[in-house]
Amino acid sequence: MTNVTLITGDGIGPEIAQAAQRCINATGAKINWEIREAGIDVMAKAGTPLPDSTVESIKKNALALKAPITTPVGAGFRSINVHLRQIFDLYACVRPCKSYKGVRSRYSNIDLVLVRENTEDLYAGIEFEKGKDDTAELINWLNKHSKKQIRSDSGISIKPISVAGTERIVQYAFDYARKMGRMKVTSVHKANIMKFTDGLWLEVSRQVAAKNSDIEFEDRIVDNMCMQLVQKPELYDVLVLPNLYGDILSDLCAGLVGGLGVAPGANIGEKVAIFEATHGSAPKYKGLNKVNPVALILSGVLLLRHIGNTAEANKLENAVAAVIAEGKDVTYDMKADRNDPTAVGTQEMANAIIKKITG
């Protein structure tokens, strides 16, 4: 038995978590699920969006499947997703973007993997609020030490990029490429403008690439990368990106393969791995049994591969692919017409996947 923490999240989280759990169980994988909560729903009763029991369970099991969690905009608590990545030092976010037959998309045969640095950059959560004393102190210091002047009514977010952080993520991208039989790693940056952060990222990327010369290496400026991915995605293989660009390009690449509904992800650290869909908690669909469970189910496929349950992972991925290819028992977002009355609900799509697995 492998112990796995199942974080049910909020918004559409609990319903897709249930669907994913049922599909993974149907493969026969020997998983002992520890169900834990996080997000706005548990906030009222636990007084925190991330109860200690959830953190302890992840720490003990070192493995979690996590449904999405809402991050209120502007106010409220800071992102639990970012917080979890920081406390467990989940430095690598791996997002495969693969075309499945039957998914409506402008492209076919896309098979890209994004490796996003998960702990640094503007997402490090080092922020100074407009009007606060420490913000004024920081602005004064910066104005004294820089030719550029910052307005006193500014808010400030800090973008740290380190040698150590860049080395380990770029090395991870090369190791991943080698393990998965992939040919090329592309490092993405804006080194022409942010010389001391993205410039450092590029310099370190090149140094790591020189030690991994069996795999092809190239770099791209992030804006050019966006255009290239839209025009000729087939030229790319494994992309390694700082946190913010990684976040944005993950959604772009999810769009290339048919949308957020089919984009899985894994957050990997030295000790702990958390698997989750790329999409968020889509609060407007909460409780409607409407949304697509596939991204979280495919995150389960990544989890099964991670723990060496390759046969179970293949069974589940093939079942998902078959249901999508048939296009019958799929949610509204996978139908040609989003108002198609033959679209099925979240649990019904999971049932169809389970039926393919169990025969």
Which residues does the annotation mark as catalytic? Answer: 123, 190, 223, 247
Instruction: Give the span between the Cα atoms of 23 and 81, in whole angstroms.
Output: 24
- Nearest to ligand NAD of 139, 264 (CB atom): 264
Q: Residue with CB nearest ligand NAD?
A: 280
Considering only CA atoms, which of 237, 210, 70 is closest in space to residue 220? 237
Question: b or e along 166-202 (b: 16 or more beta carbons within 10 Å of the residue's beta carbon)?
Answer: bebbbbbbbebbeeeebeebbbbbbbeeeeebbbbbb
Smallest distance, Å, CB 216 to ligand NAD? 31
Smallest distance, Å, CB 298 to ligand NAD? 11
The residues binding ligand NAD (CB under 6 A) are: 68-71, 81, 260-261, 276, 279-282, 284, 291-292, 295, 333
Instruction: Give the span between the Cα atoms of 172 and 89, in whole angstroms.
Output: 14
Considering only CA atoms, which of 290, 356, 359 is closest in space to residue 325? 356
Smallest distance, Å, CB 91 to ligand NAD? 16
What SS3 class is residue 216? strand
Considering only CA atoms, which of 180, 175, 189, 266 is closest in space to residue 220? 189
Instruction: Give the span between the Cα atoms of 76 and 39, in whole angstroms.
Output: 11
- Nearest to ligand NAD of 43, 177 (CB atom): 43
- Nearest to ligand NAD of 103, 260 (CB atom): 260
- Nearest to ligand NAD of 127, 134 (CB atom): 127
- Nearest to ligand NAD of 211, 284 (CB atom): 284
Smallest distance, Å, CB 293 to ligand NAD? 7
Q: What is the DSSP letter of 79?
A: P
Smallest distance, Å, CB 195 to ligand NAD? 30
Question: b or e along 18-36 (b: 16 or more beta carbons within 10 Å of the residue's beta carbon)?
Answer: bbbbbbbebbebebebbeb
N residues, the chain: 359
